[in-house]
Structure 1
Amino acid sequence: MADYIVGLTGGIGSGKSTVANLFAELGVVIVDADIIAREVVAKGSNGLQQIVNHFGDTILTADGALDRAKLREHIFQHPNERTWLNALLHPLIRQRMVAQCQQARSPYALMVVPLLFENHLERLVNHTLVIDIAEETQIRRTIERDQVSKAQVRSIMSSQIGREQRLKGADDVVSNEGDVDALRSQILALHKKYLNQSVTAKKRHE
């Protein structure tokens, strides 16, 4: 079990996956909230069954998987349903994230959570790491990556906490304005730091 958990977060387009991959290359176990969010509503899951019980099977694709586009559309038309859905999914996601961290075989685990502060999940981690980029960079990278409009990116950004607020909650900050080499050197320095902190945490638990 990992004795130390680092919570990684950042706004859309900040490069969370890139940073997580660099930590993974160093042998760190990655617990990704986005992947878990898909797993808890996978075909045959209890989560999906409860969604079907609530919304009906029109929310499914022909092969019995969750039709995310239909669910998004339904939530958009009935905003109060988001509360029900979050009440179902958030505990399932949280439970699985904690379980994966407990099973981690690396000295520390990296929990990647896009809405770490928004959903008050910072209490699950020992340390917070924020990836920081300018808003203009966020918008440009997201448009290039997802082929979406500037208005759509701004809409997503408005549903997340602001840059200033995110930085206030950070124990460490990684700047992702430069190239991958600049990023890698920051990650290496942080990796050494977290290894040391995990040793201290382990001694405390013994």
Structure 2
Amino acid sequence: MERAARSIGLTGGIGCGKSTVADLFAARGATLVDTDLIAHELTGPHGAAMAALVAEFGPGCASADGALDRAAMRARVFGDERARARLEAILHPRIRAAAEAAALAAQGPYTIFVVPLLVESGNWRERVARVLVIDCQESTQIARVMARNGLQESQVRAIMAAQVPRQTRLAAADDVIDNDDGLAALAPQVERLHQFYLRFFGATDAAPDANSIERL
């Protein structure tokens, strides 16, 4: 699919600032497809995945309004690889289908798929032209998530431990944005990559030069 081919997979560990960076690309005309938002729609009150989830995990996985009880599901699958695989078998194909439909309808010069578990999922790399990793120090991640979500450091570290290591994520990257220094430092990195993506996907007359971007 032509639209899907003109796409970037944006990922990063918890607290790295994926949504902030994605919004900066959107402000420059990129089309965003956020798989987390798709997952929330699928598992919202009477969402399209809820019947299958209830059938697989029982009515206790749903809250009174018909949405997924996220706390109960997290507790159920955390540390249980078989339960997590059953959950992913229900959600991942539906998320992929919805993401592909959104990409086909895209109007921007390129599409950014925001995929928190892009590296972990194992099949997104073949579906995007480039992988963009938002990176920061682990201490920065921990501080941000503690402030944002009110979690204890041990809880944040447990979430991070369930994701691939930082170096594994960086090894999968075509492009890297450093997000240790806040919004002011993000804008020039996003602008430079945006101009590169326009050239890379043929949205400008200038020829792409993959060597013009060293990992930022």
Same fold (TM over 0.5): yes
What is aligned with 1:25?
Answer: 27
Q: Displacement of 1:55 after TM fit?
A: 2.3
Q: Deviations over 1:81-119 (max 9, x none)?
A: 222111111111111112211111101001111111110
Output the TM-score relative to the length of structure 1.
0.90
Where in structure 2 are the equivalents of 1:27-176 lying within 5 Å?
27-76=29-78, 80-120=82-122, 121-176=124-179
Q: Provide the C-alpha distance between the structure 2 equivalents of 1:197 and 1:53, rounded to a whole number of angstroms.
A: 45
Q: Provide the C-alpha distance between the structure 2 equivalents of 1:116 and 1:156, rounded to a whole number of angstroms.
A: 16
Q: Which amino acid aligns with 2:174?
A: D
* Structure 1: segments with no counterpart, 5+ residues: 201-206
Q: Which amino acid aligns with 2:8?
A: V
2:29/2:109 contact within 8 Å kept: no
Q: Displacement of 1:79 after TM fit?
A: 5.1
Q: Displacement of 1:58 after TM fit?
A: 2.8
Q: Provide the C-alpha distance between the structure 2 equivalents of 1:72 and 1:54, rounded to a whole number of angstroms.
A: 15
Q: Provide the C-alpha distance between the structure 2 equivalents of 1:74 and 1:162, rounded to a whole number of angstroms.
A: 23
Secondary structure at the aligned position of 2:192 is classed as helix
Q: Which amino acid aligns with 1:99?
A: A
Q: Which amino acid aligns with 1:176?
A: N
Secondary structure at the aligned position of 1:199 is classed as coil
Higher relative contact order (CA 8 A, sep 6+): 1
Secondary structure at the aligned position of 2:9 is classed as strand
2:45/2:65 contact within 8 Å kept: no
Q: Provide the C-alpha distance between the structure 1 equivalents of 2:182 and 2:160, rounded to a whole number of angstroms.
A: 23
Q: Deviations over 1:160-204 (max 9, x none)?
A: 11111111111111111113121001101111110111117xxxx
Q: Displacement of 1:44 after TM fit?
A: 3.0
* Structure 2: segments with no counterpart, 5+ residues: 204-216
Q: Residues 60 and 156 of structure 1: is their aligned pair in 2 closer, same or farther, counting only changes over 3 Å?
A: same
What is aligned with 1:204?
Answer: none
Q: Provide the C-alpha distance between the structure 1 equivalents of 2:136 and 2:92, rounded to a whole number of angstroms.
A: 27
- Say what the alpha-carbon RMSD is for the aligned residues: 1.9
What is aligned with 2:209?
Answer: none
How many matched pairs? 201
